Amino acid sequence: MNRSRSKLVAFAGLVIAVVVLVVAMVGGGALTAPTTTPEPGPASSSAAAVANPSTLPTINASQLPKEARQTLALIAEGGPYPYKEDDGNFGNFEGLLPKKSGGFYKEYTVITPGKQNRGARRIIVGKDAAKYYTADHYESFKFIVEGK
């Protein structure tokens, strides 16, 4: 009787180990602590700091028009956006932003009060999370420093 009991305990231990592994594999959680470290900076900041990859002048996000700050919030939330063109590819045909492959940049409308159309203001976002503001429809850009 003792022998069959120890076999049953060993079998139960094996079943538990397999269940734990299956749960971990299908997203039930990690078996070890994560190896990444959190980003430095204030915990209240919703945007991670991105270094300016360009030689363009900078502008603090807090200095942008309120409509541009609203657009930044929409981008962070993933939309919905006010125009169908928003979240579409920006070609950088003017060559003012750092040269990247096609599809690297997305553009978003910054609403201009009093305009019936999209107006000239845009925010451009790169796949590297760098963001740029133009108030003059791509004639000039400023790199957006978020969290300031």
Question: Which position among 77, 85, 137, 139 bears the catalytic label?
Answer: 137
Tokens (6 digits) for 26: 């299908």
Question: Which position among 94, 107, 139, 146 bears the catalytic label?
Answer: 107
Q: What is the pLDDT of residue 147?
A: 87
Q: What is the pLDDT of residue 50?
A: 87
Q: What is the pLDDT of residue 126?
A: 97
**Structural domain spans, the chain:** 1-34, 58-145
- Is 59 within 8 Å of 83 (Cβ atoms)? no
Q: What is the CATH number of domain 58-145?
A: 3.10.450.30
Q: List, for the chain, all residue ranges whose pLDDT scores fall below the cut of 50.
A: 23, 27-46
For the stretch 113-128, pLDDT in tens is: 998 899 999 999 999 9
Nearest to 131 by CA among 77, 56, 67, 81: 56
**Known catalytic membership, residue 67:** no
Q: What is the pLDDT of residue 116?
A: 87
In whole angstroms, give the CA distance from residue 75 to residue 112: 17
Q: What is the pLDDT of residue 43?
A: 33
**Known catalytic membership, residue 137:** yes
At position 92, the amino acid (one-letter code) is: N
